[in-house]
A and B are shown apart, each in its own frame.
Chain A
Amino acid sequence: MATVSTSNRLASVPTTEPAILVVDDLVMRFVTADGGVTALDHVSFGVKPGEFLAVIGPSGCGKSTLFNIVGGLLGGYAGAVTVGGETISGPHASIGMVFQEESTFPWRNVLDNVGFPLEISGVPKRERIERARHFISMVGLDGFEKRYPSELSGGMRQRVSMARTLASEPKILLMDEPFAALDEQTRLLLGDKVLQIQQQLEQTTLLITHNITEAVQLADRILVMTYRPGRVKRIVDINLPRPRTSEIVSSEPFGRYVAQIWNDLREEASRGLSDAETRPLRTHDKPQGQP
Chain B
Amino acid sequence: MAEIGRLTGTRNGLGFATPVALLRAAFVLTALMVWQVLAVSGLFYRDVIPSLEKIWTALIALVSHGDFYWHLGVTFQEIAVGLVIGALSGIAAGLILGGNRFIAAVFEPYLYYLGPTPKIIFFPVMIMWFGVDSGSKIAMGALSCFFPITLNVAAGMRQIDPVLIRVGRSFRAGPWQMAMKIYLPAMRHPIVNGLRLGLGVALIGTLLAETKLSNRGIGFLVIQAYNNFDMPRLYAVLLVLFVLAIGVNALVARFGRLDEIKYK
Contact = CB atoms under 8 A, between A and B. Distances in A.
Interface string B156-192: 0000011110111111110001000110011010000
A120 B163 contact: no
Contacts of B167: 97, 99, 103, 105, 116
A168 interface: yes
Contacts of A264: none
A107 B171 contact: no
A248 to B, nearest CB: 31
B65 interface: no
Nearest to B178: A120
B163 A119 contact: no
A98 to B, nearest CB: 9
Given A105-B185, A150-B263, A99 B166 contact: yes
Contacts of B164: 103, 105
Contacts of A283: 162
B6 interface: no
Interface in A121-160: 121, 148, 150
B46 interface: no
Contacts of A96: 170
Interface in B189-203: none
A105 B188 CA distance: 12
Contacts of B168: 120
Max count, chain A CB within 10 A of own CB: residue among B167, B170, B172, B182: B170
Nearest to B166: A73
Interface string A101-127: 111011110000000110111000000
Contacts of A97: 166-167, 170
B257 to A, nearest CB: 15
A180 interface: no
Given A103-B163, A107-B186, A73 B264 contact: no
Contact of B262 (A73, A105, A119, A148): A148
A271 B178 CA distance: 42
A182 interface: no
A150 B259 CA distance: 13
A191 interface: no
Contacts of A148: 262-264
A91 interface: yes
A218 B169 CA distance: 27
Interface string B10-36: 000000000000000000000000000
Nearest to A116: B171
A146 to B, nearest CB: 11
A102 B215 CA distance: 57
A71 interface: yes
Interface residues of A, number: 26
A174 to B, nearest CB: 9
B163 A101 contact: yes
Contact of B171 (A91, A101, A102, A150): A91
A93 B169 contact: no
Contact of A102 (B163, B177, B182, B264): B163
Contacts of A72: 170
Contacts of A95: 170
Interface in B234-264: 262-264
A91 B185 contact: no
Given A102-B163, A103-B163, A116-B181, A73 B263 contact: no
Nearest to A117: B171
Given A99-B166, A102-B163, A120 B264 contact: no
A120 B263 contact: no
A119 B163 CA distance: 19
A73 B188 CA distance: 26
Nearest to B259: A107
Contact of A106 (B166, B181, B264): B264
Max count, chain B CB within 10 A of own CB: residue among A93, A106, A107: A107
A108 to B, nearest CB: 8
Contacts of B170: 71-73, 91, 95-97
A93 B262 contact: no
Contacts of B185: 105, 107-108
Contacts of B166: 73, 97, 99, 103
Interface in A148-179: 148, 150, 168
Contacts of B162: 283
A91 B264 contact: no
B264 A150 contact: yes
Interface in A57-98: 71-73, 90-91, 93, 95-97
5 contacts: A91-B172, A93-B172, A99-B166, A107-B188, A150-B263
3 nearest A-B residue pairs (beta carbon)? A101-B163, A97-B170, A117-B171
Given A116-B171, A116-B181, A120-B173, 19 more contacts: A71-B170, A73-B170, A91-B169, A91-B171, A95-B170, A97-B166, A97-B170, A101-B163, A102-B163, A103-B167, A105-B182, A106-B263, A107-B185, A107-B188, A107-B263, A120-B171, A120-B172, A148-B262, A150-B263
